Structure 1
Amino acid sequence: MMAEKIDLLVYNIGKLVTMQGVARARVGDEMQQVETIERGAVAIQNGKVVAVGEEIQVREQLKNKVFAAELDAKQKLVTPGLVDPHTHLVHGGSRENELDMKLKGVSYLDILAAGGGIHSTVQATRRATEEELYEKARKSLDIFMQYGATTVEVKSGYGLTLEDEWKQLKVAKRLQETHPVDLVSTFMGAHAVPTEYKGKSAEYVDKVINQMLPEIKTHSLAEFCDVFCEHGVFTVEESRQILLAAKEMGFRIKIHADEIVPMGGAQLAAELGCISAEHLLAATDEGLEAMSRQGVIGVCLPATSFNLRAPHARARKMIELGIPVALSTDYNPGSSPTESLQLVMTLGALNLNLTPEEILTAMTINAAYAINRGDTVGSLEVGKQADLVLYDAPNLAYLVYHFGINHVDTVIKDGQIVVSEGQKVS
């Protein structure tokens, strides 16, 4: 009788950070408590983790099995695959033309009001074909993966018509089917009031609720619905109407809250039971306390603050209040044109005052729960997806401290090596 085969054993790991522990988003001191195993190993079968721990114990546990392949980690640091819970991956064009305006002190909302910002990207996205959007997004997704991301949320919101929102979400669906990285889609038709509805926001809100949401739901193009609740964009009441309608249709809901003006978006997130509230630069104590009471995850986007030269979200306050904190690139063509979660790690330390352990928690298990994937990704545990990153770094602190380069050597997604020596495996 032939011995059962194990697909892959990753061994000789210097430090293996598993993120095993609580089966929910971590809060408070839990974010600092990460399990690190010296001389570790991970065994993988059918795309899932079947054993994880000290190498000597894993080999003993599987002594009657045969390893079809073995990968020597050469004492590298290994973590779960990184999870990005907030991106605008699919879009047309870019907005480097706005850099000069930013340098001259023109604000984000002023650029938007003048027809730039989101409106500029909407026009470029509407003009682009589905194939053009697909190729552009695929290239960015390759970069995400090469920098360690294995699961990425992707929002629509640059179409603002049913046809063009559909186009964006179809591209995301194609990428989910063809690219190694897992995508989680969010409908964000309420990203801005389109220029053709200027002064008629109520009419556009009605269109989102009664035309767009039902079609997106019927064709299963998105799991989440998001709204940009902001001064000059959507009011708290308009956001409430859209999110309540989405919730009634079976969407999970999240919200861009209190990014620039303290509108009460954080309180609305708590009131409606949003899975997450995102940005939160201007969130009040009352808003954060409401989020804490309801267990709303706070998704902080330090690269956006850095690029806009804006104040940062109060991540330390959130942790003190017991809010689960996640981190994201907010990849988009205007306020955060970066696919590097490793850059966000450094900004999370220097500008949000988070420790390396808190940062990894925020980019793995908490980020996974922010997009309803905490039961399958975000930690290295038996039965979960075998998503691992091997870094050419000795420890977590070095990963955060040595910035401006890509530390990733190898990425394993669903048990398959998809990045080797920093390059995508064709």
Structure 2
Amino acid sequence: MSVVVDNIGLLVTHDAERPERRGAALVIDSGRIAWVGDSSDAPAADEKVDAGGRCVIPGFVDSHSHVIFAGDRAEEFDARMGGRAYEAGGIRRTVGLTRGATDDQLQDNAARLVAEARAQGTTTMETKSGYGLTVADELRSVRVAASLTDEVTFLGAHVIPEGSDRDDYIDLVVGEMLEACAPHVRWIDVFCETGAFTVDESRHILNAGIARGLGARVHAGQLGESGAVLLAVELSAASVDHCTFLSEGDVEALAGSSTVATLLPGAEFSTRQPYSDARRLLDAGVTVALASDCNPGSSFTTSLPFCIALAVREMGMTPAEALRAATLSGARALRRADIGHLSVGAQADVVILDAPSYVHFAYRPGVPLIHRVLTPRP
């Protein structure tokens, strides 16, 4: 069945020749964008959707989340707001809660968060394991994730579990755990930070995943500068995520690479860390994406509109740059060419706003601005 979305006040396609159109229409057929043009030229279709002069954008692409978990860490957040510094160790609390949850509890919580994100315009959502840290718990985590999204990441290298020998655990990650999880995932990731994994350990773990045919992603630069960004570039990782603390060499390396710098302003908001300097990266020619980092410890939000508002206010991005980062560049962080834009042939992930412009994400922060989400996804 074909659908024409007509009477669009402002259409954002991210098409290279004409990224925005006014007075526009588009046609969806078989789950793809089949036609884009002026409203006055719109062809007939089986169904018509009147956008009522509203702004229409591509669905958000959230390329970094952790929604397979149980419980929350509200007490930890409260303590941080009272002055306690953020540290990676809180992950172990969620590991304990996740191990104690049933499969149905993990499934229901993750599905609720994915639905919450969808209601806010997210039509593609990557998510990771990493709160199980045993073979059985990581395997059930990636199975739950794979029931909700095609973009699943194995993050057995989140932290060393409490009571585990460091070398033995890394051997488990690159051996039996990777063997069990690899058939259910597309990506491998490592938390390469103080309190988690070193650069050399991360290289070893990522190379094991790459040898199994998985793409690489890296957590880096959240707590301080390290060699993790250069490692990501060395391994041609699809993305390096956080990028709060970067050296000049890091920025230069990213600018000369295909690795996307994925910024996570929700984490800075929730941990009171300095915000990433998006302006510095963009001016250097780095591809910058925005993602939610939805997790119970350091960024418990599924709202990319909220992240866009933070990026504009705190990270030096224009509204147009922030929208692009949350759509087209998010797709690049997943190495996807079929999403994040509304050009002919793209997947028909169409979001109609309750606003005349995407500028309203930052202009009216915290206000629900999603009128309707059209997508072929279930």
Q: Which residue of 2 aligns with 1:328?
A: 291
Q: Cα offset for 1:255?
A: 0.1
Give 2:242's aligned amino acid. H
RMSD: 1.4
1:209 pairs with one of 162, 171, 174: 174
Task: Return the offset for 1:286.
Answer: 1.0
TM-score (norm 1): 0.86
Q: Secondary structure at the match of 1:67?
A: coil
Show the counterpart of 1:90: 68
Asked if 2 retains the 8 angstrom alpha-carbon contact of 1:265 and 1:287, the reply is no
Report what 2:157 is aligned to. Answer: 190
User: Which residue is 1:51 aligned to?
Assistant: 35
Residue 246 of structure 1 aligns to a residue whose secondary structure is helix
The whole-number CA distance in structure 2 between the counterparts of 1:351 and 1:288 is: 19
> 1:257 touches 1:283 (CA, 8 Å); kept in 2?
no
- Is the contact made by 1:11 and 1:73 (CA closer than 8 Å) also made in structure 2? yes
Q: Give 1:71's aligned amino acid.
A: V
Contact 1:90 1:133 in 2 (8 A): yes
Q: Quote how far apart the aligned CAs of 1:245 are.
A: 1.2
Q: Tell me the CA shift for residue 68 of structure 1.
A: 1.4
Question: Which string of whole-angstrom CA distances, capped at 9 and with x for unpartnered residues, describes residues 269-295 of structure 1?
Answer: 111111110001112111121122222
* 1:146-165 equivalence runs, <5 A: 146-165=119-138
The answer for the alignment partner of 2:6 in structure 1 is 11
Find the aligned partners of 2:167 and 2:236 in 1 and give their Cα distance: 24
Deviation (angstroms), 1:100: 3.2
**3-state SS, counterpart of residue 143 of structure 2:** helix
Once residues 100 and 174 of structure 1 are traced to their aligned partners in structure 2, the CA distance between those partners, rounded to angstroms, is: 33
CA distance in 1, matches of 2:81, 2:371: 36
Q: Distance in 1 between matches of 2:153 and 2:276?
A: 23
- Which of residues 181, 187, 196 in structure 2 aligns to 1:224? 187
Q: Deviations over 1:9-62 (max 9, x none)?
A: 11001101111128xxxxxxxxxxx72111111101111111012122333xxx
TM-score (norm 2): 0.97
- Structure 2 letter corresponding to 1:210: G
Identical columns (%): 36
Correspondent of 1:396 among 320, 336, 358: 358
Q: Given that residues 328 and 363 in structure 1 are in contact (C-alpha distance below 8 angstroms), is that contact kept between their aligned partners in structure 2?
A: yes
Residue among 241, 255, 261 paired with 2:218 = 255
2:6–2:42 contact (8 Å) kept in structure 1: no
For structure 2, the residue ranges without an aligned partner over 5 or more in a row are none
1:105 maps to which of 61, 83, 86: 83
* Match 1:281 to one of 236, 239, 244: 244
Amino acid at match of 1:159: G
> Size of the alignment, in residue pairs?
378
Counterpart CA distance in 1 for 2:168 and 2:280 is 38
Report deviation, 1:306: 1.1
Q: Give me the whole-angstrom Cα distance separating, in 1, the residues matched to 2:120 and 2:104.
A: 25
Question: Retained in 2: the 8 A contact 1:80–1:389?
Answer: yes
What is the CA–CA distance in structure 2 between the aligned matches of 1:175 and 1:301, rounded to whole Å? 22
CA–CA distance in 2 between the matches of 1:108 and 1:258? Answer: 14
AA partner of residue 156 (structure 1): S
